[in-house]
Amino acid sequence: MRPTLRERVELVLERYAELEKSAAFLPFDAIFLMFEGTLLQSARSAVAGDEDAAMDHIENACRLLMVATVPG
């Protein structure tokens, strides 16, 4: 079963908070701006009733967080 939009958003925000505290987090301003913009797009899609688009934006936000981490 696919997680709900709310569950995905909560997971992304939890991961973001973990990474922000981590030494493995690189402060790339461009990545942060794209991440925030992607979450905003997700919220807009959700408000418009397009849950599929909102989920796609959340998945893109997850990818951006992966870019912001340094491999182990």
Residues 9-44: tens digit of each pLDDT: 777 778 777 766 765 655 666 777 788 888 889 888
Q: 57 or 68, which is more confident?
A: 57
As a whole number of angstroms, the distance between CA 46 and CA 64 comes to: 20
Contacts of 69 (CB under 8 A, 6+ apart): 19, 22, 24, 25, 26
Kindly report whether the global pTM for this prediction surpasses the value 0.75. Answer: no
